[in-house]
Chains A and B, each alone.
Chain A
Amino acid sequence: MKKTLIASLFALGATTMLTAPAYAQDVYFPIIAKGFSHQFWQAVKAGAESAAERNGVKITFEGPNTEAEIDKQTDILNAAIAKKPQGLGFAALDSQAQVPALKKAADAGIPIVAFDSGVESDLPLTTCTTDNLAAAAAAADGLAKAIGEAGEVAAIIHDQTSATGIGRRDGFLNQLQAAYPNVTVVDVQYANDALKAAETAKAMLQAHPNLKGIFASNEGSAIGLAVAMKETGTQIVGVGFDSGKSQKDAIMDGTLLGSITQNPVGIGECVVDSLAKALKGETLPTVIDTGFYWYDKSNMDDPKVAAVLYD
């Protein structure tokens, strides 16, 4: 009884494997992200899936466990290329390290569309991305205006090596330096999860009693910042990045002033749409800016903004 069950399972597996090549007739794009568990990537996935349905193509959405696993992502990339897809979407964890692997795809004539962070090469036909420097500069504007353009501020950045971490840190710092001479940045620290960001924010508040505001550069660090502000009851101004329910709630109840949202759904749509256009032979611009918005209590319900916020 048990054996027949196992045998039939195997048989079922074998038939699925045998029928799989039939899909090769269909248009298939593997989309390789930097991760999949973060809400941001889930939103990108949702966008990619809806665009796939619209274009009548098949996609898969994969990514490594954490955003530090460059080698794992390269393995996923190589496996995807081996399937000989009609196009490839790729968000590089390292803008240079993965160029050789991408070269293989390009040599095999597979069109590549980069997304989220760019690749330092002309292999991708286009890059669907948020301008992180400009987006973080908008966060700096929001924070500086809320503190009367004077006083001490600090930043909690989600990591010190990725293109988004560096871009948001520099975008924030450069804008303050350029436009707000009376605002001083007294501390920049790194924390990669919500709990660590909460402890970091509390240490910052402790070390700098005159602190007027803190910027947190992604969803996790913004959640942590909100936790720290609630626990200490501080009256400083907190500004976040991305969305997610915790962060949206913190903005609604006044703990955080506001945040920057990217357009993850738009990024996902852009990748699949661009690949479909490339197959039809259309030319694409080098970079497609998928946009960002500053949002706070006043415009969270604006349909344009609400559409790109995720829970």
Chain B
Amino acid sequence: MTDTTLSKADDGKKGIISIGTLQKAVAFVVLIALLAFFSVFAPNFAQWSNMVNIMQATAVNGVLGVAVTFVIISGGIDLSVGTMMTLTAVMSGIILTNLGMPLPFGIIGAMLFGGLMGSVSGASIAKLKIPPFIATLGMMQIARGLALVFSGAKPIYFNDTPSYYYISSESSISRIIPSLEVPNGVLIMFAVAIVSSIVLNRTILGRYVFSLGSNEEAARLSGVNVDFWKIVTYGVSGMICGVAGLLISSRLNSAQPALGLGYELDAIAAAVIGGTSLSGGRGTVLGTIIGAFIMSVLTNGLRVMGVQEEWKIVITGVIIIAAVYVDILLRKKM
């Protein structure tokens, strides 16, 4: 049934593009509708300063969403992205604060370490044949535990590296275009999204990620080294978690080792709202970013309206289910 769409997709990508585009369009319309709704009903919502707030609140979840999008398209799932983010933040703290190395080492170290841990997840899935849900559930705990062990269960501060704060919080672009005060963290999120989008659509890695997710057996039979590309996929996801780790620790000017549980669910929700199919083979980075924006507009708007946190959680849940329902409807129509 879906196989026909997918094989068509492999030929010309026609099927995928039309569903994907339609769904992104739906997500985008939802986003605009939410912005319009809050502009009318939440006083003081529609101001540039608040748009900056929303963008900044999207950065961490958006980047984690991109990380998990890679894995979900490949037919897997990654429950470890939240605590992995924390672990990479701790790693960058150890390199910069405890070892006193210069900033680039912290940035590269966090990303490489994330990549390494991600590859471990990938290897246990590909080589030990552990289901992704279980392997990454295990990794979620391992990363959480290691973050506490490495940091001695204490936050690590970046006061010795003053430039660390600029990763996420200042706006470099406003020095060039003064009116465009978009914080660096947001620019980094967009950069991650653009690079990931190119990787997914224009490189061999991207092609294999999609073919793993649509039909792993077919990929294997056509000579793809399935195990290797799975490990790479989870490695890339882990590396992107490293970027999220840098963003969050830069904003808090500290690596908080107890933080991170629950962030994986927000990331998965962003991907799903943006049209990434949990059964694999289908999804876009742009969709995930729109999904992450929908979530943060919702959170911010409801807070500005003064709606209780409890209801905010309920409404987010309803939106996730509605998004997947739209997905099902669209696929039936095709």
Binding site for B on A (CB under 8 A): 35-39, 42, 65-66, 160, 186-187, 189-191, 193-195, 198-200, 202-204, 206-209, 220, 223-224, 227, 231-232, 244-246, 249, 311
Partner of B155, one of A198, A203, A245: A245
Q: How far is the CB of B131 from chain A (nearest CB, A)?
A: 23
Partner of A66, one of B251, B261, B300, B303: B261
Chain B hits for A244, CB < 8 A: 155
Partner of A206, one of B148, B304, B309: B304
Chain A hits for B310, CB < 8 A: 160
Chain A hits for B157, CB < 8 A: 245-246
Q: How far is the CB of A84 from chain B (nearest CB, A)?
A: 29
In the assembly, what is the distance between CA of A245 and CA of B159, in Å? 10
Closest to B147 in A: A37
Contacts A245-B155, A246-B155; A207 near B57 (Cβ below 8 A): no
Chain B hits for A39, CB < 8 A: 154-155
Q: How far is the CB of A264 from chain B (nearest CB, A)?
A: 14
Contacts A206-B49, A231-B56; A42 near B305 (Cβ below 8 A): no
In the assembly, what is the distance between CA of A227 and CA of B14, in Å? 46
Contacts A160-B310, A187-B306, A206-B304; A246 near B253 (Cβ below 8 A): yes
Question: Are the C-beta atoms of A246 and B300 separated by less than 8 Å?
Answer: no
Known: A38-B258, A206-B44. 19 other contacts (CB 8 A): A37-B153, A37-B257, A42-B154, A65-B144, A193-B256, A194-B259, A195-B248, A198-B252, A199-B53, A200-B303, A202-B57, A203-B300, A206-B47, A207-B305, A208-B44, A220-B256, A223-B256, A246-B252, A246-B254
Chain B: residues with Cβ within 8 Å of the partner, total of: 39
Question: Are the C-beta atoms of B252 and A195 separated by less than 8 Å?
Answer: yes
In the complex, whether B111 has a CB less than 8 A from a CB of chain A is: no
* The 4 residue pairs across chains A and B that have the minimum distance between CB atoms: A203-B303, A37-B258, A207-B304, A190-B309
Binding site for A on B (CB under 8 A): 42-45, 47, 49-50, 53, 56-57, 60, 144, 148, 153-155, 157, 159, 169, 248, 251-254, 256-259, 261, 296, 299-300, 303-306, 308-310
Question: Are the C-beta atoms of B155 and A206 separated by less than 8 Å?
Answer: no
Question: Are the C-beta atoms of A199 and B299 separated by less than 8 Å?
Answer: yes
Q: How far is the CB of A65 from chain B (nearest CB, A)?
A: 8
Q: How far is the CB of B64 from chain A (nearest CB, A)?
A: 12
In the assembly, what is the distance between CA of A87 and CA of B220, in Å? 61
Closest to A198 in B: B251
Question: Are the C-beta atoms of B42 and A199 separated by less than 8 Å?
Answer: no
Question: Are the C-beta atoms of A189 and B309 separated by less than 8 Å?
Answer: yes
Chain B hits for A249, CB < 8 A: 159
Q: How far is the CB of A43 from chain B (nearest CB, A)?
A: 11
In the assembly, what is the distance between CA of A249 and CA of B253, in Å? 11
Question: Are the C-beta atoms of B304 and A194 separated by less than 8 Å?
Answer: no
In the assembly, what is the distance between CA of A202 and CA of B261, in Å? 22
In the assembly, what is the distance between CA of A203 and CA of B60, in Å? 17
In the assembly, what is the distance between CA of A223 and CA of B251, in Å? 11
Question: Are the C-beta atoms of B44 and A209 separated by less than 8 Å?
Answer: yes
In the assembly, what is the distance between CA of A279 and CA of B254, in Å? 43
Closest to A195 in B: B248
In the assembly, what is the distance between CA of A196 and CA of B27, in Å? 24
Question: Are the C-beta atoms of A207 and B303 separated by less than 8 Å?
Answer: yes
In the assembly, what is the distance between CA of A224 and CA of B300, in Å? 15
Partner of A37, one of B56, B148, B253: B148
Q: How far is the CB of A154 from chain B (nearest CB, A)?
A: 10
A-B contact pairs, 19 of them (CB 8 A): A36-B153, A37-B258, A39-B155, A42-B153, A66-B261, A189-B309, A194-B259, A199-B57, A199-B300, A203-B53, A206-B47, A206-B50, A207-B42, A223-B252, A223-B254, A227-B252, A227-B253, A231-B169, A232-B49
Question: Are the C-beta atoms of A195 and B259 separated by less than 8 Å?
Answer: yes
Chain A hits for B144, CB < 8 A: 65
In the assembly, what is the distance between CA of A66 and CA of B83, in Å? 14
Contacts A66-B261, A246-B155; A195 near B253 (Cβ below 8 A): no
Closest to A228 in B: B53
Question: Are the C-beta atoms of A311 and B154 separated by less than 8 Å?
Answer: yes
Closest to A245 in B: B157
Question: Are the C-beta atoms of B309 and A207 separated by less than 8 Å?
Answer: no
In the assembly, what is the distance between CA of A39 and CA of B254, in Å? 13
In the assembly, what is the distance between CA of A249 and CA of B165, in Å? 15
Of A35, A36, A246, most buried by chain B (CB within 10 Å of CB) is A246
Chain A hits for B53, CB < 8 A: 199, 202-203, 206
Question: Are the C-beta atoms of B303 and A189 separated by less than 8 Å?
Answer: yes
In the assembly, what is the distance between CA of A246 and CA of B303, in Å? 25
Chain B hits for A223, CB < 8 A: 252, 254, 256
Q: How far is the CB of B278 from chain A (nearest CB, A)?
A: 25
Q: How far is the CB of B226 from chain A (nearest CB, A)?
A: 32
